[in-house]
Amino acid sequence: MTDAPEPLRGLTAEAVAAARRAAGWNEIAPPGQRGLAQIARGVATEPMFLLLLVAAGVYLLLGDLGEGLLLGAFALLTVALVVWQERRSEEALRRLRALGAPQARVRRDGAVLRIPARELVPGDLLLLGEGERVPADAVLREATGLAADESLLTGESVPVHKRPALAGEALDGLQPGGDGSPLVHAGTLVVAGHGLAQVRAIGGATAVGRIGGALASIDAAPTPLQQELARLVRWLGAGAALLAGLLVLWWGWQRGDWLQGVLAGIAFGMAMLPEEFPMALAVFLALGAWRLASVQVLARRPAAVEALGSASMLCVDKTGTLTENRMRLRRLVAADGSELVLDEGGELPEALHPLLEAAVLASRRGATDPMDRAIVATADAARGMAEHLHADWLLVHEYPLTPQLLAVSQAWAGPDGAPHVAAKGAPEAVADLCHLPPQRLAQVRAQVEQLAAQGLRVLAVAQGVAPPGQPPAQAHDHDFTWLGLLGFEDPLRPSVPQAVAQARAAGVQVAMITGDHAATALAIARQAGIDVAAGALTGEQLAALDDAGLRAAVRRVRVFARVQPTQKLRLVQALQADGEVVAMTGDGVNDAPALKAAHIGIAMGVRGTDVAREAAAIVLLDEDFGRIVGGVRAGRRIQDNLRKVMTYITAIHVPIAGVALLPVLAGLPPLLLPAHVVLTEMVIDPVCSLAFEGAPEEPGLMERPPRPLHERLVGPALLVEGLWQGGALLAAVLGSYVVALQSGLHEDVARTLAIVGLTAGNLGLVWLNASGGRGLRAVGSGLRAFGWVAAIATGVLAAAVLVPWLRAVLHFAVPPPGALLAAVAAALAAVAVSALVHWWRVARVASR
């Protein structure tokens, strides 16, 4: 039996190397990445940078060259910090794109390989199947029912049917679109059938390359949370600009010093701007997606990182997700009732030869389908089967599986030209092909139930007689004879029971949706620890339910069997209507609507089709269910750390804005100048992405219910806690400043004490929020980063106080040791009070 003529073995390694030297890589252009110049231009339009430049200009107008140059240096340092942060995000996204790069199946040196699509060269033999995106322009050498959606190139959404190229056929000048073409084009989608094609053009030489089309692997569109924070920052920015403008007018009107008023307004405006919100979120989402990739979960859309932590229902396929997808043919049951439990390489009784022979004829060698591979491997290994493999027969027609008939039939021609037909598929479908009488059908159903109850996946096999002449249009036109049943064993992954238990402990329900027999599904579900108390709901029963009935059913049932891919969408919608946050796995073309409709669509990275991967927000790289649960854990950790950093940013801006505004309104000497705001910001920016992003998960992370999707990540409770923490620190810092002034100390000494206290309190707030008040060890991998930032901040502040020219530029003075300790103690006492309030709130919530 041969699927391809012998010459179609593909390129050798030497031929591939030579073709690559001549044609290069199969890529149109690398995904857009912002360079250093682009990032720097973006920073130059940021309000903080512009305010720094204005402040530097004012100081120069006042003749204060030192402060002007210092603020200019701070402006450059701000650019450097933002560029560093964005490069981290860009690098994480670049790595994600590499993980999500499209793959191609090729035949090289007679072996079928899966390679990155960019490694294709002209002359390569491509294997194309339903749901795959064509990775290069190619000419078909073999095709069975192949149709492609070429709307990317033609604008026509109707699929066009393809045929193999004729010997010596002229191909130049053929354009995309229209039925009957032997050409397939890069970027188009195979929607039916399969084929073998030879690559003609790659990269920029393809049809899509010539018009500059490209498909992105990672979608970096802004998430709802990013949009929400952007709106918040715009409102706060507008408010800061308004209040800063009023402060300038008030200062100039009351004191007649307009330039100093401008400086006071700039300091207040800089203190009010929470520009860290969008930066922290962008870094967290990019690095969070990279952390998910480390547990084999590829987040194609940043919104998936947000949503994963809220998942309340995981709807998973059985084969390859809960099981190992290592299908093995375990049982043979012939039509006469004789049965055999197979051992690898064992001898097969003669009575079972026809059953396995027909199963091989109904399968494809080199296929990706695990059952086809298991059948062929068993036949090749079984002694006495060599004469039944028919290596010299030619495949003349294939009847693919359809939603109406869940069976595959293949027609072959022997050396004498005699036709032979074999079919395999769902037992009820093959029984329909064989027109079994009711009594025999009842016997078959009993045999199927018995095999399925053992956790075996069951297929039926039949052989047929073809009518004379051309192959008929449909499989039903053959006269089929029932040959028996095949039972396949696919072991449960060892990690699944523990992962299911973890998910249930975390308040996440697990539902199995499979095309398998109900008894098989229930047997595997029991082994996995999935709730089977309500039994299984079959696709036939599902179709008979109205929407209200289905919503009632999904509240109880956790096993869905004999489900068609198109029915998955109804299940997703029913679960969502019942208030669940749904994560759905899928791998086929018909799964795409359900994957798009689910809150979190999860495509299979190995056996999933390209269209499924493009519809999904997440790609499961190794298809292990435990990875999904690991993704939920990582998603919850990312959500927690985002909440922590948002609380911190809110908290630290309260004392910064307060000490910039309140002393001025009270008639006291200005406490905070623009340079002091920048000094504080130099601590905030790196801390946000280092200490907080690296913070470990909270205790009991997977023992609490998921966060409702409608609950805001940055909600009123978080803002209130941030305002409380910031208010306590503001009171301590202002208290130190006022006491110092009333004690007769110079205003530069009082300013120094206040800013030292503010810096100490700032670091204390980092500890409190990053650790949840659980000690420095709880800061986790962010502890080293926190230590470096604290050491640098302390060193810079010490230099600002002890180096004479810096001290003069910043209007600092060396304070008395006792007063210095008192200012630091007051700030840390404010942090301690905030920690006590935090612990009290946590204890109160835990006691409910």
Residues belonging to the active site: 317
Nearest to 809 by CA among 266, 67, 55: 67
- The H-or-E segment that residue 511 falls in is strand 509-513
Task: Give the count of beta carbons closer than 10 Å to the beta carbon of residue 666.
Answer: 9
Counted residue by residue, the chain has a size of 848
Residue 587 backbone dihedrals phi, psi, to 5 degrees? -140, -10
Q: Which of helix, strand or coil describes residue 602?
A: strand
Rounded to an integer, what distance in angstroms lies between the CA atom of residue 746 and that of residue 50? 32
DSSP state string for 37-87: HHHHHHHTTSHHHHHHHHHHHHHHHTT-HHHHHHHHHHHHHHHHHHHHHHH
Buried/exposed 823-842: b ≥16 CB within 10 Å, e otherwise? bbebbbebbebbbeebeeee
| DSSP-based three-state secondary structure for 12 | coil
3-state secondary structure of 618: strand
Tokens at 313, concatenated = 């229902």
Concatenated DSSP letters of 185-247? -TT-EEEEEEEEEEEEE-GGGSHHHHTT----SS--PPPHHHHHHHHHHHHHHHHHHHHHHHH
| Crossing angle for the helix pair 65-99 and 276-294, to the nearest 10 degrees | 30
Cα angle 102-108-114, degrees, rounded to a multiple of 5: 25
Instruction: Pick left, alpha or beta for residue 331 (phi over 0 → left; psi -120 to 50 → alpha; otherwise beta).
Output: beta
Indicate the DSSP class of residue 698.
P
User: Are 664 and 264 a contacting pair, CB within 8 Å?
Assistant: yes
Q: Which amino acid is it at 388?
A: H
CB atoms within 10 A of CB 746: 13
For every residue of 623-667, DSSP letters joined together read --HHHHHHHHHHHHHHHHHHHHHHHHHHHHHHHHHHHHHHHHHTT
